């Protein structure tokens, strides 16, 4: 995996994510459990429309998906993903575990690249009020940024859970995505969790961009997983746990983009 940056000056970053703030509401791609599947969609079980791929179902007009209807281009876990790739819309998670689905803090996109690589692009805004405490200097001397851990998690929900009687915000997102069962957190260049992504740099205005490529997972691996933005930087080691990235402050379920 390698990380490239897109204009790390304050001006370029702010311009790249202009319009992404806590006041902007971005609607994610159709949820499979409640949409209608159109031409070219893939369904596991049930009934699919013309051109759809069905596993264990019946091909016909219209498509039934897990008690609902899915929009054109939708897919369920393990099914084909369209050329638009996948996207996770990040929603703010409170310390009490509530997820504000009316607010978008940005999105993380996954698209097929050349040579089997996946292109990953994270663009966020409105993070200033929850930025990490340890500021770092931008290389060109034009300001500071706050590094935040960013990971793919293995669970399929942003709901809170409880552990030892305490609420775990976005606990249903589960642990870091680790299909090889390495049980080790080594960062985006290491041999540990496949879901370890580079830190995203948040500027004083609350915006940030992270762009990278990876061959550690495929689009098909990611459908129904989650992306978590953490409160602190990730040091890419196992000490402290998960690199010390800390609380889960934003979460998004990975779904087909359209």
What is the secondary structure of 192-214 as a DSSP string? S-TTB-PPEEEETTS-EEEEEEE
* DSSP type of residue 57: S
- Read off the pLDDT of residues 70-89 as tens digits, 9 standing for 90 and up: 332 333 444 458 889 999 99
Mean pLDDT (the chain, rounded): 74
At 187 the pLDDT is: 82
- Whether 56 and 145 map to the same domain: the answer is no
At 69 the pLDDT is: 30
At 101 the pLDDT is: 96
- Read off the pLDDT of residues 203-234 as tens digits, 9 standing for 90 and up: 888 999 999 999 999 999 999 999 999 999 99
Domains in the chain, number? 2
- Whether 192 and 230 map to the same domain: the answer is yes
Residue 134: which domain range?
2-28+80-256
- Whether 169 and 65 map to the same domain: the answer is no
- Whether 101 and 68 map to the same domain: the answer is no
Lowest mean pLDDT among 27-41, 180-194, 195-209, 232-246: 27-41
Query: Model's pTM, two decimal places?
Result: 0.68
Confidence band, pLDDT 50/70/90 cuts, at residue 143: confident
150, 198 contact by CB (below 8 A): yes
């Amino acid at each position: 995996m390698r990380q490239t940056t897109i204009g790390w000056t304050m001006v370029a970053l702010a311009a790249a994510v202009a319009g992404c703030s806590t006041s902007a509401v971005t609607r994610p791609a159709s949820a499979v459990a409640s949409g209608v599947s159109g031409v070219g969609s893939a369904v596991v079980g049930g009934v699919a429309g013309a051109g759809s791929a069905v596993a264990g179902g019946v091909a016909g007009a219209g498509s039934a998906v897990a008690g609902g209807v899915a929009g054109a281009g939708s897919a369920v876990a393990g099914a084909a993903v369209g050329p638009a790739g996948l996207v996770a819309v990040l929603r703010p998670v409170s310390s009490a575990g509530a997820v504000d689905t009316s607010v978008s803090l940005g999105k993380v996109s996954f698209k097929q690249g050349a040579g089997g690589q996946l292109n990953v692009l994270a663009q966020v805004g409105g993070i200033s009020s929850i930025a990490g405490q340890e500021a770092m200097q931008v290389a060109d001397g034009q300001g500071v940024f706050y590094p935040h851990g960013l990971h793919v998690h293995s669970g399929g929900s942003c709901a809170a859970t409880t552990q030892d009687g305490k609420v775990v915000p976005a606990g249903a997102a589960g642990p870091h995505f680790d299909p090889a069962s390495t049980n080790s957190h080594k960062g985006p260049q290491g041999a540990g969790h496949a879901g370890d992504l580079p830190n995203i740099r948040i500027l004083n205005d609350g915006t940030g961009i992270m762009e990278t490529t990876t061959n550690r997972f495929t689009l098909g691996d990611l459908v129904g997983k989650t992306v978590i933005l953490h409160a602190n930087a990730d040091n890419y080691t196992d000490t402290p746990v998960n690199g010390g990235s800390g609380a889960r402050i934003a979460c998004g379920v990975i779904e087909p983009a359209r």
